[in-house]
Amino acid sequence: MGHLNVEIKARCENQGKARDILKSLHADFKGVDHQIDTHFKVSNGRLKLREGNIENYLIFYERENREGPKQSKVTLFENNPDSSLKEILVKALGTFVIVDKQREIYFVDNVKFHVDTVEGLGAFIEIEAIDRDGSIGKDRLREQCDHYMDLLGVKADDLISVSYSDLLEKRIVDN
67 — pLDDT class (breaks 50, 70, 90) = confident
Comparing CA positions, the residue from 88, 90, 91, 133 lying closest to residue 110 is 133
Taking each helix axis from N to C terminus, what angle separates 15-24 and 138-152, rounded to the nearest 10 degrees? 120
Count of structural domains within the chain: 1
State residue 50's pLDDT score: 98
pTM here is 0.92
State residue 51's pLDDT score: 97
Provide the CATH number for the domain around residue 162: 2.40.320.10
Strands in 15-92 per DSSP E: 28-40, 46-51, 56-63, 70-78
State residue 1's pLDDT score: 63
Domain with 162, as residue range(s), is 2-174
